[in-house]
Every structure is written in C-alpha cells, then in structure tokens.
C-alpha cells in the first residue's frame, strides 16, 4: 500500500477556502424520513437506526442522548477530493465499543485507559466483529473517566495523569512516572526516533505558564523558545526528520511553531524554531493535529476565523518548516468547542477527520467528516449532538477511526480500494 496523503476528521459541513478560493464541497441532499438505499452492506446497530436528515452523506448518523444510535447513509454523488478519486476508500459498519473512554486508534486496534489507569485493548478484528453484532467490546466491568486519549508507540501508552507524564505497558503492569509538572487535561504526543521514543508534553510553570517539553529516557527537556508558550503539541516525521509542532494560544493571537527534533540515546533537543502560521484568538480546547505522507507534513487547527467565522485551518508545513507556510481554510457553518480533528496517511493520501456543525443554527447536530487533506469533498462518518474526541491511525489495508459521541465510544474501519 502506498502512503502519500493524510486523513483529517472534522465535525461540521465543510466549505473549503484556500487563499480565498474554494477547495472543498459539501455533500448534501434533500431531507428524507428514511435513509436512501446504501451501497454498503446492511449494518446492525445497537438500537433502531435514527433517520438521516441528509441521505446523500456517505456515512452513519448517531442520535443524541445516553442511548446514542447509529444508522447507515447512502453514498454521495458529489465529486471526490483531488488525488483521492471517489471510491478510493470504503467505510465499514459502525462498531459500538462501550462507554465513553479515552481511546486511541493504532495500526493494530484500539487502546483505551480505564478510570484506574488500566489498559483495555480491542484488536482490529474485534472492531469488525462489534460492527457486525451490537456487542460492546470494552467489557462489562470496565469503568472509564473522560480524558485525553493516550499516545501509543512501541508497546506503551503515554498520557498525563495527576500532574505527571506517565506510561503504561500495553501488555499489562504498573504505570511508570516519567516526569513531573505536566498540565492535566493536555494531550501527549509520541514518536519513535531510532529504537526509542521521543515524547512531547505540556508542562505547567510558575503563574500557570505553559510550555512544551520533551522526554527521551530521562528528565524533561525544555522545547519552547524563550518568550514562547505552548498549550498543544504534535510530533510528526517528514523528509527533514522528526518535527515538533507547538501551538501557542495567546489573547487575540495564536502562533504555530515548528522545530526539528535532534535526539541521541538518552536526550533530545530542538533546532531551528520557526513560526509557521499565525491565527486569531484561540480557546482552552484549541489544539494542533498533524500527519505526514513520509515526506510532506500537514497540520490542522480548528478555531475562530476573524470576528464571526470559524473553521479548520490547514497549514502546509511541507518537507521542512519555514516561516509563513501556505495555509487555507475549511469554513464551518458555526463554531464549536472542542472541535476535534485528527489525521493519518492512508490509501495513497493523508486523511483528515474533523467535527463540525451541520448547520448554523444553535444546537444543530454535529458531523464527523473524513476528507483528503489536500482539499475536496468530505465523507460523513457519523452524526451526534456532541463529540468528545477523535483518533485515526493507518492500518495494513486502510485506517481505523475511533471517536467519542454522547456517552459511548464508536469505531469504523476504512479499507482502501485495490491498488491504493
């Protein structure tokens, strides 16, 4: 399978704008009481399916409330994104995994963290089985607390808990405290460099100042330049090596920094910090997500645009970071907070998954969308009143998506078309 693009998930109907020009379309259809016939096999849902407001969306809809349900939708006839022709991927049925949980998609399955810090794993075949039969896969005795999904690599799950950067082995066993001073509620990023991981996390300093730090087998290492802060981080590998992306949200201004990570056996440092992009006012839930096709890096930030707008900024980092990187927007019909987004390489592209409102009206349902990161129309993956988190990872034949909607955790697998 060739990896050449990245996936991004978004919640809301996308209308793309690139340097004031459109890059995407919205797949919509006339309202109908019942879904149109689907080109996908019929799927079993945990409860009777809710009718779709827009049967032309290629996805599933999730009803609101504690008993969120999932319903199929027909394939869209709208044009596909450039470089990823219609039919480049096919979504599976929706799997109900269990209660809302901090859950991450990985190349081999899904990893979730219980309220007591224990690891729960659901392998990819079990996700498919859960889609075929409405049987939750987390287990009847597992109890979960809301929180950020862990970052998973090389047999360990990394996260922030109790002000500590911690990791736990996927095979089971006690978690290990790696560094103190981590900001609770923030997301951890991790990537392999050689045979060992590099971990990026948000540290809390005097006066609640937030900065980025790295961990590489020892104490935390400062990664924010003097005078800069960070509230969200991502690690991604491009042609120029491993990059640290750090989002610095300030009053009235948001800056996206990028720097190259240089690591040896027991330490790491950053070199060549550049401000890639500057946006407007962000919020406490504004985050950066990033993915790479192995050479070129793409980053995303969902946030306010101007005085009354909101959307998903796509920043084309490229092979090496540089000041004022090209960027463009997918406009949302209204704002939302949080606005989950995630990306991964799959099916010869980089895919992005994002959540956006389906309409400008307050209280409108939200949609989880999947699109080629380079632009074009998006496929609807699911609908719900609320989304808590989204994660996507490449697999040997496509990708795996997991998200929290209502009080449940859901998943779908994506299979690439032959030859992609």
Nearby residues of 308 by Cβ (< 8 Å), 6 or more positions away: none
- What string of pLDDT tens digits covers the 420 residues of the chain? 443 444 444 444 433 333 333 455 434 322 222 333 333 333 333 332 222 222 223 233 222 223 233 333 322 222 233 444 456 889 999 999 999 999 999 999 999 999 988 999 999 888 877 777 776 788 767 788 888 999 999 999 999 999 999 999 999 889 999 999 999 999 999 999 888 899 999 999 887 899 999 999 876 789 999 989 999 999 999 998 999 999 999 888 999 999 999 988 888 999 999 999 999 988 888 999 999 999 999 999 999 998 889 999 999 999 988 899 999 999 999 999 899 999 999 999 999 999 999 999 999 999 999 999 999 889 999 999 999 999 999 999 999 999 999 999 999 999 998 876
- Dihedral angle sign, alpha carbons of residues 98, 100, 105, 111: negative
Q: What are phi and psi of 221, to 5 degrees?
A: -120, 130
Q: What pTM did the predictor assign?
A: 0.81
Tokens of 190: 């991790």
Helix (H, G, I), strand (E, B) or coil at 403: strand
pLDDT of 125:
84
Is 127 within 8 Å of 135 (Cβ atoms)? Answer: no
pLDDT of 183:
95
Fold (topology level) of 150-347+354-362: Neuraminidase (2.120.10)
């Amino acid at each position: 399978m060739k990896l050449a693009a990245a996936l991004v998930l978004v919640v809301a109907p996308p209308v793309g704008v690139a340097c004031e020009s459109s890059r995407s379309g919205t797949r919509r259809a006339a309202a109908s009481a019942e879904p149109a016939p689907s080109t996908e096999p019929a799927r079993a849902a945990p409860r009777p399916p809710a009718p779709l407001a827009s049967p032309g969306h290629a996805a599933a809809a999730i009803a609101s409330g504690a008993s969120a349900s999932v319903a199929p939708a027909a394939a869209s006839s709208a044009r596909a994104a450039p470089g990823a022709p219609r039919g480049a991927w096919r979504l599976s049925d929706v799997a109900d995994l269990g209660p809302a949980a901090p859950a991450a998609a990985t190349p081999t399955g899904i990893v979730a963290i219980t309220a007591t810090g224990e690891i729960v794993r659901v392998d990819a075949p079990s996700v498919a089985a859960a889609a075929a039969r409405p049987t939750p896969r987390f287990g009847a005795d597992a109890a979960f607390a809301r929180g950020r999904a862990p970052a998973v690599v090389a047999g360990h799950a990394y996260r922030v808990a109790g002000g500590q950067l911690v990791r736990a082995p996927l095979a089971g066993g006690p978690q290990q405290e790696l560094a103190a001073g981590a900001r609770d509620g923030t997301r951890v990023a991790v990537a392999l460099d050689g045979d060992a991981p590099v971990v990026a996390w948000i540290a809390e300093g005097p006066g609640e100042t937030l900065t980025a730090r790295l961990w590489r087998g020892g104490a935390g290492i400062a990664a924010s330049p003097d005078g800069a802060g960070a509230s969200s981080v991502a690690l991604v590998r491009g042609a120029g090596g491993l990059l640290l992306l750090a989002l610095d949200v300030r009053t009235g201004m948001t800056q996206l920094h990028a720097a190259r990570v240089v690591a040896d056996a027991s330490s790491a440092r950053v070199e060549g910090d550049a401000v890639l992009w500057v946006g407007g006012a962000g919020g406490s839930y504004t985050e950066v997500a990033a993915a790479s096709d192995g050479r070129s890096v793409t980053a995303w930030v969902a946030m306010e645009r101007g005085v009354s707008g909101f959307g998903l900024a796509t920043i084309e980092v490229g092979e090496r970071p540089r000041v004022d990187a090209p960027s463009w927007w997918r406009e949302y019909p209204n704002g939302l907070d949080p606005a989950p987004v995630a990306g991964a390489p799959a099916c010869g592209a980089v895919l992005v998954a994002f959540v956006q409102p389906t309409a400008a009206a307050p209280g409108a349902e939200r949609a989880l969308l999947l699109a080629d990161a380079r632009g074009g129309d998006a496929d609807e993956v699911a609908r719900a009143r609320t989304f808590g988190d989204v994660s996507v990872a490449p697999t040997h034949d496509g990708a795996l998506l997991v998200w929290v909607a209502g009080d449940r955790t859901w998943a779908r697998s994506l299979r690439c078309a032959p030859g992609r």
